[in-house]
Structure 1
Amino acid sequence: MICTNKSCEKFMNPSLTCGAIMLDMKCKNSTLIQKANEGYPIVALDRIMDMPNIKSVVVNNYAPMTELVQGLVDKGYRRFGYIAGIDTLDNQERYQALKDVLQRNGITFSRENYFLGDYHEKSGYQSARLMLLSDNIPEVLVCANDNMAIGAMKALRQEGLKIPDDIAVTGFDGTEMSELMGLTTVDIPDYERGYLAAQFLLQNIAGSCSFDTFKIAAKVHWRKTTR
């Protein structure tokens, strides 16, 4: 069983399934702990939990975001904006990497250029519209995922701004749309992630899974939305 933004508690039922691959940001840790204590095997794709029956296959967000932001600094960008997703492990690691790189390079990040989105395209559009009300817009807008980056690009272009001449934009995830739009992004190998999750769930069900957390590597793709 794969649970994605549905009622995970409803579907993680031992009478219906032997285990679950879980990607549901709305599912509470307490629910997973309860199921794990009942002996129900789970592979989580969106969090790390120290529980015998919960294994995790998550993205190593910090390393590629570090590479991306350092690359932007090396290209000469100094004023950064950030559109965050909701408070998940992914967003926490991506934002922390941004802050750490800027601090190491002596660059101040202004909190007025931090915008809270929800990973959907509309929130990226709305965040960019708010950003444009400022007298000092960023040189580069780093977005926590591709959907919000695409929404932001639509808002910027509506105001006549040229990307990347007036402002650069980056995403994260490596969606098909990001490739079509020439978006600089971090590519997550979703097929491999899903394959590993399925393999580890089967091992977890059989009681032969020897690891707790597996981190998937991701790769930066430089495209035409940055200099």
Structure 2
Amino acid sequence: MKKSHPVHQTFTLVKKDLTLELRQQYAFYGVLLYIVSTVFVINLMMGRPEDKVWNALFWVIQLFVAVNAVAKSFMQESRGRLLYFYSLVNPRCFIAAKLIYNVILMTLMSIIALVCSIAFLGNPIINPFYFIGMVLLGGTSISLLFTMLAAIAAQANHNAALMAVMGFPLIMPVLMLLANISLSAFVTVYQPELPKMFLLLGGMDILVIALTMILFPFLWKD
């Protein structure tokens, strides 16, 4: 594996993470229980909220799903296992595999959260295809950001408090941007500023990926 192509190393690590997830499944079912119970409790307390409240609640659920699913990806890696991977693979291949795996996991969780929200809280969405695209894009953005934060926290002796402190000022602009863009799925009026907001969100994703790929090899050496 050490002499293999970086692409092969990356997808081998992704396959490893997916295989472990399929065998253990405790994280998947834990997040699934969180989604269903949270949406059900919201239904009991609020019934079927109006459009803006529905949208805000959905993205709050997405935030905590990311914390429970994505942010734990590095916490389950022991120091000994990380040292073992250090001797086998390129650090950029390792972090790229984590990014890909977490995007896959968050995409699945986002779809489940959307289905549960529609089932329990009603369906006020006028443009479903647009909103589904926003959910997938937003889930990707959140997973990339939390993967970077989890990698930094893992190299700081698995300090979860560090991830929380760094994550709050970074995730809030992303959530506000996602909430504002996705509101267009609840109205029939076209908003000419939407393409710029999509470009801004895509630029933030590219920046997060670039920073992760640049910084992680230095963290890996420690």
Tell me if both proteins adopt one fold, taking TM over 0.5 as the criterion.
Answer: no
What TM-score, normalized to structure 1? 0.32
- Structure in which a larger fraction of residues adopt strand: 1
TM-score when normalising by structure 2? 0.32
Larger helix proportion of the pair: 2
Q: With a CA cutoff of 8 Å and minimum separation of 6, indicate the structure with the bigger relative contact order.
A: 2
